[in-house]
Amino acid sequence: MKKAAISLVLALAASALAQNPAVMTVKVFSDPQMTKPAARQPITFKSKGGDVNAQTNDYGMAVVRLHAGSYTVEMGTAIGPFACKECKVPRIPETDDEITGELQFYFDNEHIELKDVNFDTGKATLKPGSFAKLDPVAEGMIKNPNVRIEIAGHTDDVGNDESNMKLSQARAEAVRNYLIKKGVPADRLTARGYGETQPKVSNATKEGKAMNRRTEARILAQ
């Protein structure tokens, strides 16, 4: 899986009052090299103070006004909104000029990690907490009848290759079956296990193994 990452570049010049929002030029890319603009991409900056919504133009750009603080950045997709990354807009000392800056994001909308979709250890049984994360995916697919997705299962490197491949396939099928039960037509869903063949990071640490145990939604058509 390509790593869905964020590159945060704040080229902030000074501002009027510190409490005034910064005028941020947002650029969203669909490739990690930051060369392919993500056109017409819905984006939401979520914070305790409320949400700021925008959509990129044909060149993958949008302009938003953001107050200083922390934000969760969500990207809209045909199967629901997904968190891209956290970002911060720093508080700028008071001057007579407007705060301006730039935010650059990479969002891989073909390999969307389904966060908090978890299974019993060594099994393909979905934990109840996963249902709340999968229900919006089902709702998005029902709302957008042209969407087809692949459910991709991944494991860490604990155990042998064959057992990991079987486990990841069983887990992908468990997610597919749940979405079918929620009303998504079966012919719009495929399931594939990749075992340990596509790690996000090294399996050398406990944290790395946890990141590699994941379920993804790969949008095939929309």
Predicted TM-score of the model (pTM): 0.74
Both structure tokens of 38: 């993500």
Question: Checking DSSP bridges between strand 42-47 and strand 50-55, what pairing results, if any?
Answer: antiparallel
Count of residues making up the chain: 222
For residue 143, give the H/E element and its range: helix 131-143
DSSP output for 34-54: S-SB-TT-EEEEEETTEEEEE
* Tens digit of each residue's pLDDT (9 = 90 or more) over 160-198: 999 999 999 999 999 999 999 999 999 999 999 999 999
Query: Which domains, from first to last, does the chain contain?
Result: 6-106 (2.60.40.10), 112-221 (3.30.1330.60)
Check whether 44 has a pLDDT greater than 80: yes
| DSSP category for residue 125 | P
Q: Is 102 helix (H, G, I), strand (E, B) or coil?
A: strand
Segment 69-101, tens digit of pLDDT: 888 899 998 888 887 776 676 665 555 567 788
pLDDT value for 60:
95
